[in-house]
């Protein structure tokens, strides 16, 4: 009986793999990093794709590669230039860790990204999923790559009720995937097929497109019409909401920006002058007067919202026109004065302020 169960299990796994790979051969996404899956290209794309939509990453990826074409260039680049190239992608610790890893690769691996899953895990910013993706896709190693998309697909296909936010679940699924991988030369395609299935068919929000799924006839959740009950994941804590007032303080030639602290949220990035709370024009005027700045005009502009992992900023914006900005930094503003051209080309401004950067970019007269 036990032997028969093992045989049945092997047949089932083989069927799942064949269905998945056949589907991938026909439906795989055409992505720039897949046309030349070198180790550096796979690494860069996977880091960019963390917490970011594929469509948003494509242009960033190609622009980044034009300026930072390899690991040596990444190791040597100025941090502010890297942050500017990353501007708008968010989670800026990702590119800082990439540069730390690049420098370690230059020092300890002669500039070559290691092919071993275990060695890749030693590098800053590379976790289990990224190490598995690099090792399998770029080097053809038999290693799983298990991210949120894959966990969702597998949970639904097997009606697996374990909480996918738990480390123990992720570890167990990784081990199960390791034991059921196809031949090493197929692992890259297998892992990417699961990614594509999760991204485009077995959707994270809304009803999955089961009619398009290669596993439609063998998916256990679909068989019982309970797809939306999986995966099981504990509810996130409610985000804290912060009200902020953004001031685009500008004369005819320059605008005020300041550098954020070297640690914490948006560390080392540049920002527009901003204050806690949702201030009225009169409150803004009083604040500026106390700082020795007398505005000629305060104009309410776009309001915006930005969502971080555990925090939301609700922002009220004002364009503040003054006759001439002095070269000293008033009061506690810790400000620098830059031209619009410098702002747009040199200084990395986080995507949290995108609405205000667009306002500056599109404003013709002051």
The domains of the chain are located at 2-229, 240-362
Q: Note the pLDDT of residue 97.
A: 97
Annotated catalytic sites, by residue? 46
179-202-18 Cα angle (round to 5) = 45
Assign domain 2-229 to its CATH superfamily.
Answer: Hypothetical protein; domain 2 (1.10.340.30)
CATH code reported for the domain at 240-362: 3.90.79.10
Q: Report CA torsion sign: 131, 134, 136, 140.
A: negative
Q: Note the pLDDT of residue 295.
A: 80
Q: Note the pLDDT of residue 122.
A: 97
Is residue 295 within 8 Å of residue 286, measured between CB atoms?
no
Whether pTM exceeds 0.85: yes
Q: Which residues of the chain have pLDDT under 50?
A: 1-6, 328, 331, 366
The token duo for 84 is 């500017």
Q: Report CA torsion sign: 86, 87, 90, 95.
A: positive
Residue 299, classed as helix, strand or coil, is strand
Q: What is the per-residue pLDDT across 94-128, written as a single tens digit (0 to 9) for each?
A: 999 999 999 999 999 999 999 999 999 999 999 99
How far is CA 72 from each of CA 69, 76, 77, 125, 251, rounded to the nearest angstrom? 8, 6, 9, 17, 41
Q: CA 350, CA 266: separation in Å to the nearest integer? A: 7
Q: Note the pLDDT of residue 242.
A: 97
Q: Note the pLDDT of residue 24.
A: 97
Q: Note the pLDDT of residue 2.
A: 41
Do domains 2-229 and 240-362 share one topology? The answer is no
Q: Note the pLDDT of residue 291.
A: 83
Q: Note the pLDDT of residue 3.
A: 37
Q: CA 265, CA 110: separation in Å to the nearest integer? A: 34
- Strand (E) or helix (H) holding 219: none
Is residue 36 within 8 Å of residue 66, measured between CB atoms?
no
Q: Note the pLDDT of residue 234.
A: 87
Q: Note the pLDDT of residue 205.
A: 84
Q: Note the pLDDT of residue 333.
A: 57
Q: What is the per-residue pLDDT across 223-282, written as a single tens digit (0 to 9) for each?
A: 999 999 999 998 878 899 999 999 999 988 899 999 999 888 999 999 999 999 999 999
């Amino acid at each position: 009986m036990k032997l028969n169960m093992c045989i049945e299990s092997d047949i089932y796994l083989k069927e799942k793999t064949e269905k998945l790979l056949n589907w991938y051969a026909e439906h795989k996404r055409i992505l720039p990093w897949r046309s030349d899956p070198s180790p550096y290209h796979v690494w860069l794309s996977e880091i960019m794709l963390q917490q970011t939509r594929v469509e948003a990453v494509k242009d960033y990826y190609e622009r980044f590669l034009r300026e930072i074409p390899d690991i040596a260039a990444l190791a040597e680049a100025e941090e502010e230039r890297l942050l500017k190239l990353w501007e708008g992608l968010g989670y800026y610790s990702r590119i800082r860790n990439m540069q730390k890893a690049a420098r370690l690769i230059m020092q300890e691996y002669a500039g070559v990204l290691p092919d071993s899953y275990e060695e890749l895990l030693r590098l800053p910013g590379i976790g289990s999923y990224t190490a598995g993706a690099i090792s399998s896709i770029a080097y053809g190693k038999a290693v799983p790559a298990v991210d949120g998309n894959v966990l969702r697909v597998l949970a639904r296909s097997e009606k697996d009720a374990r909480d996918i936010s738990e480390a123990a679940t992720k570890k167990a699924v990784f081990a199960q995937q390791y034991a059921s991988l196809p031949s090493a030369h197929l692992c890259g395609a297998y892992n990417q097929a699961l990614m594509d299935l999760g991204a485009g068919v077995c959707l994270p929000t809304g009803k999955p497109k089961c009619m398009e799924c290669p596993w439609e006839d063998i998916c256990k959740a679909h068989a019982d019409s309970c797809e939306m009950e999986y995966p099981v994941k504990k509810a996130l804590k409610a985000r804290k909401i912060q009200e902020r007032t953004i001031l685009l303080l500008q004369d005819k030639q320059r605008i005020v920006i300041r550098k954020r602290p070297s640690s914490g949220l948006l560390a080392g990035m540049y920002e527009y002058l901003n204050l806690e709370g949702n201030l009225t024009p009169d409150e803004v005027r009083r604040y500026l007067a106390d700082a020795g700045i007398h505005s000629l005009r305060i104009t309410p502009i776009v309001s915006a919202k930005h969502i971080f992992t555990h925090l939301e900023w609700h922002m009220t914006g004002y364009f503040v026109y003054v006759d001439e900005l002095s070269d000293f930094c008033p009061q506690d503003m810790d400000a620098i004065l830059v031209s619009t051209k410098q702002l747009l080309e040199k200084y990395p401004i986080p995507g949290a302020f995108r609405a205000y950067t667009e306002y500056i970019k599109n404003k013709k007269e002051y």
